[in-house]
Amino acid sequence: MDWQALWLSLHLASLTVLLLLPLAVLLGRWLAVTRISGLSLIEATLALPLVLPPTVVGFYLLVAFSPRSWFGDLWRQVFGGTLAFSFEGLLIASVLINIPYAVQPAQRAFEAIGNELREAAASCGMSWWRALFRIELPLAWPGILTGMVLAFAHTLGEFGVVLMVGGNIPGETRTIAISIYDRVQAFDDAAAGRMAAVLLLISLLVIAATLLLSQRIGKRRG
């Protein structure tokens, strides 16, 4: 059992969720109410990671992270290290590919609130931020939480992108999913089996927790 890899995965998933939370709230809220033209194009762009093969995302990120690209070069000048095959690079990749998992449920939750309530809050003199925290978030949080749980679980399971931009470095980029692959190649079926079982159990718990949560919310509302 590669505890280091499991811990690295949990660490990566937690940081991903923390970075995505404000993005999901603000972007989800904006997408729910905006009427700008080209909205479909924006939504399609944000949903791309759902349908793109991980190798395509991985390839573009690898090119972007390379010190020969302007982004990779800028990063190196500011932070001193290279992004490819580092934990920071993995985190950036993880946040990007989880945007649709986090933002879409939040957007649906904000859409469900309805504009009457927002207008009522505004006519009562509530500021935008006050209405967000007092009216909208208390109503939308189950959707936002669902997005966070999905992003967390998806990060634990992501393989292709991590393999391409991470490169299987113990303690740095070897996540639990990569470690299973690594153990299979080392003919260590026993370790691979144990880790696969742990990941199966965690995934089951996460899904069960989400279902339980949505049931309770349903009951409370019903």
Q: Tally Cβ neighbours within 10 Å of residue 201.
A: 10
Q: How far apart are CA 101 and CA 208, in angstroms?
A: 18
> Is residue 46 close enough to count as binding other proteins by CB under 8 A?
no
> Which is nearer to other proteins, 50 or 63 (by Cβ)?
63
> Is residue 84 close enough to count as binding other proteins by CB under 8 A?
yes
The region of 37-45, 52-60, 84-92, 123-131 touching other proteins under the rule CB under 8 A is 84-92
Q: How many residues form the binding site for other proteins (CB under 8 A)?
A: 38
CB proximity list for 105: less than 8 A, separation 6 or greater: 24, 28, 143, 144, 146, 147, 150
**Both tokens assigned to 152:** 């967390």
Q: How far apart are CA 151 and CA 145, in angstroms?
A: 10
The correct pick among 26, 33, 124, 186 for binding other proteins (CB under 8 A) is 186
Q: Is 35 helix (H, G, I), strand (E, B) or coil?
A: coil
> Is residue 7 close enough to count as binding other proteins by CB under 8 A?
yes
> Which is nearer to other proteins, 97 or 121 (by Cβ)?
97
Find the shortest distance in angstroms from Cβ 111 to other proteins: 24
The correct pick among 18, 33, 44, 117 for binding other proteins (CB under 8 A) is 18
Find the shortest distance in angstroms from Cβ 74 to other proteins: 14
Q: Look at phi and psi of residue 86 and say left if phi exceeds 0, alpha if psi is from -120 to 50, else beta.
A: beta
CB proximity list for 48: less than 8 A, separation 6 or greater: 100
Which residues bind to other proteins, rule: CB under 8 A?
Answer: 4, 7-8, 10-15, 17-18, 62, 65-67, 81-82, 84-87, 152, 167-172, 174, 182, 184-188, 212-213, 216
